[in-house]
Amino acid sequence: MDMRVKKQKLVMVGNGMAGVRTLEELLKVEPDLYDITVFGAEPHPNYNRILLSPVLAGEQTVDEIILNPWAWYAQNGITLHAGKTVTRVDRVKRVVRAVDAQGTVTEAAYDRLLLCTGSNPFMLPVPGAKLEGVIAYRDIADTRLMIETAKTHRHAVVIGGGLLGLEAANGLMKRGMQVTVVHVNPWLMDRQLDEVAGKLLQKSLEERGMQFLLGAHTQELVGDAQEGKAGRVKAIRFKHGLEVPTDLVVMAVGIRPNTALAQSMRLHVDRGIVVSDTMQTVTDARIYSVGECAAHRGIAYGLVAPLFEQAKVAANHLAMSGIGRYLGSLTSTKLKVTGIDLFSAGDFRGGEGTEEIVMSDPFGGVYKKLVIKDDKLVGACLYGDTVDGGWYFELLREGRNVQGIRDRLMFGESSIGDAASNVLSPLPLAGEG
């Protein structure tokens, strides 16, 4: 008599970093609990999307940024359907349906479903947005198109002066293109840097040859055929009348959680697929969601650290341990442009009820701002010297009392020495003391 317990079926929709990290964490603790099937729309195994910028800049290859090669899936008994997009999920019959580029249908039944559909790049709804040579910067295909375009074309415009836009612009410049960055706000990376740091960053990038149009509103993209309405993009036109010639337009103006599948499944969606602290969807306890598509306590995270924290919690519950809780994340920012050091975290803008410690050396290209509230570090913005970024982030995340080291805080961890253990005590939790 066969006493083996039949394995449960786990299906994952999306083959990105957050989802595969969840599987890795699950396999660590319960490698034999599930038969696992993965559907990925891209024809690649799991790769490090964060490192697309170095690939574009020619510092790494696509092969070097693969995190989990094809063999990893086979070694762990995971059925991978790459290049297949899930179009429908029947929550009653618990069946996932996907199609590939040729229209071939693949179905898989599930006991537990993990939705990791990520996000879509937001494309400005301006005339000409569908022209050839107008792209987003999101995946390997976009990166390859940019590399190929740089071989035959000279001028590029990047719309968006945030993290991704500047990394795209830097990569295209490294590939020999003349790049203009268009940004609607008055300084670069305004979500991560204050004005002083943003202007220092602009100066550094201008010295490398990057050009900027700040406070510029795109009116339309002009094509090279049929009165500018078709063909390849040849220029970008702004609301104040300026027109800039270009052969390539990269839109890096933000991302939106990809919730189309979840909505078709009638899952609750609000700023993302709404999940509880256990990463289960609030609509259906059999269905989990992690990554950029998930909304936890009203926040959809777009950075990798929070997504890996979510992955650990989701894996914990899929493994039937049921003890982990995801309580949200504090995030920090770095720019992947070689030779430029910046770091920001927390409430770096300051404001009412806060105090600021600022050190500014514009000639040396160094700027540091620390924001303190109620004897705790609540924000940091560093440019040019980020060696203590990790330490500041630790103080911030742990909510330590910094009253005893205020006068040395700006000079970093090395200035504190052995005294740190005496003055850096965590604040007591409610009910303690």
Burial call 199-214: b when 16+ CB within 10 Å, e when fewer: bbbbebbeeeebebbb
The pLDDT of residue 418: 46
The model's pTM: 0.90
Alpha helices by DSSP H, listed for 256-365, are 260-264, 304-318
How do 342-346 and 332-333 pair as beta strands? antiparallel
**pLDDT tens per residue across span 3-20:** 557 899 999 999 999 999
- Residue-wise pLDDT for 30-61, tens only, equals 999 999 999 999 999 999 999 999 999 999 99
Of the CA atoms within 13 Å of residue 400, those in its CB half-sphere come to: 20
For position 159, what pLDDT does the model report? 98
Those residues with Cβ within 8 angstroms of residue 135's Cβ, 6 or more apart along the chain or in another chain: 142, 145, 146, 248, 249, 250, 251
Question: What pLDDT shows up at residue 92?
Answer: 98
Please give the DSSP secondary-structure letter assigned to residue 351.
Answer: -
pLDDT of residue 393: 96
Are 189 and 201 a contacting pair, CB within 8 Å?
yes
User: Which residues of the chain carry a pLDDT beneath 70?
Assistant: 1-4, 417-433
The domains located in the chain, with CATH, are 8-120+255-318 (3.50.50.60), 134-251 (3.50.50.60), 341-423 (3.30.390.30)
With beta carbons less than 8 A apart as the criterion, state whether 348 and 381 touch.
Answer: yes
What's the confidence (pLDDT) of residue 432? Answer: 37
**Helix, strand, or coil (residue 366):** strand
DSSP state of 162: S
Distance CA 346, CA 103 (A): 47
User: Can you give the pLDDT at residue 417?
Assistant: 67
Q: Are strands 34-40 and 8-13 parallel, antiparallel or unpaired?
A: parallel
Say what the pLDDT of residue 351 is: 85
CB-facing half-sphere around the CA of 374: CA atoms within 13 A: 5
Q: Whole-angstrom Cα distance, residue 400 to residue 50? A: 30
Query: What is d(CA 333, CA 204) in angstroms, rounded to the nearest whole number?
Result: 18
Strands 119-121, 112-115: pairing is unpaired
Measure the CA–CA gap between 268 and 324, rounded to whole angstroms: 23
Q: Number of helices and strands (H, E) in the chain?
A: 11, 27
